[in-house]
Chain A
Amino acid sequence: MGDLQIGAWADELLAGLWVTVYITVLGAVAAVVVAFALGLLVRMRHIVPRTIARVVIEFFRGSSLLVQLFWLFYVLPLLGYPLNPVVVGVLAFGLNFGAYGAEVVRGSINAVPKAQWEGTVALSLSPYHRMRRVILPQAYPLMIPPFGNLLIQLIKSTPLVFLITLTDLTAVADQYRASEGREAFIFGLLLVIYFVLAYVFTLVMHLLEARAKAGLGQREDPRKILAYRGPMEEEREAA
Chain B
Amino acid sequence: MYGITRCPKCGYTQKTSPACGSCGQALNYSNPFGSPCRPESKPAPTRPAVAPASGQVKAPVPEKTPASDTTPSGELAFHGSGGSLFGIHIVNIFLTLLTLGVYYFWGKAKVRNYLFGQTEFAGDRFAYHGTGRELFTGFLKAAVIFGTISAVFKAAPFLPGGIGVKIAAMLLAYALLLTFIPMAMIGTRRYRLSRSSWRGIRFSFRGKTNAFIKLFLRGTLLSLFTFGIYYPFFLTRQYAFMTDGAYFGNRKFAFDGEGKGIFGVYMKALGLWMIWGILVGIAMPVATNFVRDFAIDWFGSKKMAVAVLIGSLIIATALVAVYLQSFLSARRQSYLWNHTTIDTARFQSTISFHPLFLLTLTNFFLLIVTLGFGWPWAAARKARFYMSNIRLEGAIDLQAVQQEAQAASPTGDALGGLLDVDVGFGPA
A and B bound? no
B-side residues, CB < 8 A to A, are none
A residues whose Cβ falls under 8 Å from a Cβ of B: none
